[in-house]
Amino acid sequence: MKFNKLKKRVIAGVISAAVAVSAFSVPAEAAGLGDILGIGASIASYAAQREQVDKQLKFMNTTPEGQEQLFEYFKQQRGVNDNPVYTQKMDRIMNNLLTAVNEVDPDNENKLPYRYFVTQDMSVNAACAMGHVMMVNTGTFDHLPTEDEVAAVVGHELGHGQKNHAIKGIKSQINNQLLARVGSAAMGSTALANIVGNLALVQANSHGDKGKEWEADKLSFEYITRTNYNPGACAAVMQRFIELYGAQKQSGTDLIFNPSDHPNSEARRDKYLKLLHEYSGKKVSMKDGEVKVDGKKFVTPVAAGGLSQMARSCFVLGNLASAYKHGQGKEEAYAKNGTVMLGNQPILTPVAGDETAEVLAARLNEIRKIAK
């Protein structure tokens, strides 16, 4: 690399460091950094510093010892919620989804197993750091009362984990962070630990670009469809985010001063609706809460059970998509104990404000006859 180009990267790194989030310190003795000494101001030392950082990243990302250190440190930083209701639900979700992950990636059992915990954070969020360390906030369980929705969120994070998005994001940003410290002539083992540790936590929540987020969304859907969870939950949870936080569309100065690597929730919901349409063999669709079969209106359910009208429609759409995917769409629709059934697949259980199960079953059969 020519000197002038490297000098420009040093300057860029200093600017990047100035606006970076606060660093945290990974204990040098725990992280194996005690022998990393005297990182000086010389640009010529950059290659040696980068080599040490790469070794540390590999240690944390691929070894049980490094994973354990990250796991314990993140628990200290985020706090742990040991509520047995949440921990048992988390265990059940992980067991179900990892069975699906193993089907999609047969070599997964040979990889570093996931370590996970429930944080004390009351916001709706989850994160998968490098080393397959996963964190799910208490707020996720509080605001997403259906297990299917939580599973959709966790499935997204497993997608990040399976594709090593966190470590890739760190490697894409480490140069500026490291060059800034080299250029400032103020680097030691603690500072290096700060770089590695800080980026590990930051990249757990921000994986670098929208492409990685779309990839994780698609993998979440693939995992969910291999379980007994409702595949409509993926779209429903995006609808829930819209209702909690807005569509999160960015414009103007936000794109410069507060950029997000996550696509907006409305776009993500609509992509999930498209996936459900394709999953059903293009038999079912939904727009503005109206669920259609073969392009004909089937139902617009009311809000119920802690779900908005739109979110409940996503679940109905998921049940219909599953029915058609698994061949139940060829069977007769009927009402059983107040629930609309299509073959052996439950579609929805009407509540006050909905049409009756008998009326809806008759309509579904009429639509199917017209389609034939």
Would the pLDDT of 197 be above 70? no
DSSP 45: G
Segment 122-130 mean pLDDT: 92
**Percent of the chain residues past pLDDT 70, beyond the cut:** 72
Structural domain boundaries enclosing 240: 233-371
Domain shared by 215 and 350, yes or no = no
* Amino acid at site 180: A
Can you give the pLDDT at residue 34?
36
Higher pLDDT, 222 or 16: 222
Is the confidence at residue 224, as pLDDT, over 50?
yes
Q: 364: which 2 tokens? A: 């579904």
- Note the pLDDT of residue 59: 85
* pLDDT at residue 57, as a whole number: 82
Q: Are residues 157 and 251 in the same domain?
A: no
SS3 251: coil
DSSP-derived 3-state class of residue 330: helix
Q: Which pLDDT score is estimated for 82?
A: 96
Average pLDDT, the chain: 81
The answer on 255 and 175 residing in a single domain is no
Question: pLDDT for 231-248, tens place per residue?
Answer: 999 999 999 999 988 765
- Percent of residues, the chain, with pLDDT higher than 90: 59
Please give the average per-residue pLDDT across 321-334, as a whole number.
96
| DSSP-based three-state secondary structure for 151 | helix
Q: How confident is the model at residue 146 (pLDDT cuts 50, 70, 90)?
A: very high
Strands (E), the chain: 115-119, 126-129, 133-137, 284-287, 290-293, 296-299, 333-336, 339-342, 345-348
Same domain, 18 and 153: yes
Q: What pLDDT was estimated at residue 3?
A: 38
Express each pLDDT in 36-81 by its tens digit: 334 334 444 667 777 777 887 888 899 999 899 889 888 988 999 9
Which residue has better confidence, 145 or 143?
A: 143
24 pLDDT more than 60: no
Q: Are residues 161 and 279 in the same domain?
A: no
CA gap 71, 40 in Å, rounded: 31
Task: Point out the least confidently predicted range of 42-46, 152-156, 329-333, 340-344.
Answer: 42-46
Contact 304, 281 (CB under 8 A): no
**For residue 370, what pLDDT is reported?**
77
- When pLDDT is averaged across residues 259-287 and rounded to a whole number, the result is 88
Q: Which tokens is 144 given?
A: 């997403």
Residue 30 and residue 69 in one domain: yes
Whether residue 239 contacts residue 190, with contact meaning beta carbons closer than 8 Å, is answered with: no
d(CA 134, CA 154): 9
Within this chain, do residues 173 and 302 fall inside the same structural domain, yes or no? no
Q: What is the arithmetic mean of pLDDT over 120-146?
A: 94
pLDDT reading at 252 higher than 70: no
Helix (H/G/I), strand (E/B), else coil: 308: coil
Q: Does the pLDDT at position 116 exceed 70?
A: yes
Q: Are residues 172 and 311 in the same domain?
A: no
Return d(Cα 127, Cα 315) in angstroms, integer.
24
Distances in Å between the Cα of 77 and the Cα atoms of 5, 122, 127, 129 are 38, 14, 14, 14
The predicted pLDDT at position 161 comes to 93
339-342 and 333-336 strand pairing: antiparallel
Q: Which residue has the higher pLDDT, 370 or 157?
A: 157
Look at residues 206, 224, 242 and tell me which one is the last residue of a structural domain. Answer: 224
* pLDDT at 18 (0 to 100): 29
Residues 210 and 252 in one domain: no
Picking from 165, 200, 224, the residue at the C-terminal end of a domain is: 224
Amino acid at residue number 34: G
Pairing state between β 345-348 and 115-119: unpaired
Assess whether pLDDT exceeds 80 at residue 17. no
Give the model's confidence band at 249: pLDDT under 50 very low, under 70 low, under 90 confident, else very high: low
What's the whole-number mean pLDDT along residues 276-282? 98
How many domains in the chain? 2
3-state DSSP call for residue 209?
coil
**Same domain as 254, residue 209:** no
The confidence score (pLDDT) of residue 211 equals 85
The tokens for 63 are 């070894």
Boundary of a domain, candidates 224, 254, 288: 224
Q: Are 182 and 253 found together in one domain?
A: no
Residue ranges of alpha helices (H) inside 185-308 are 189-205, 210-224, 233-245, 254-257, 265-279
Residue 208 has pLDDT above 70, yes or no: no
Is residue 124 scored above 80 in pLDDT? Answer: yes
Helices (H), 20-83: 28-31, 46-62, 64-78
Q: Please report the pLDDT score of residue 175 as a whole number.
A: 66
* Same domain assignment for residues 192 and 270: no
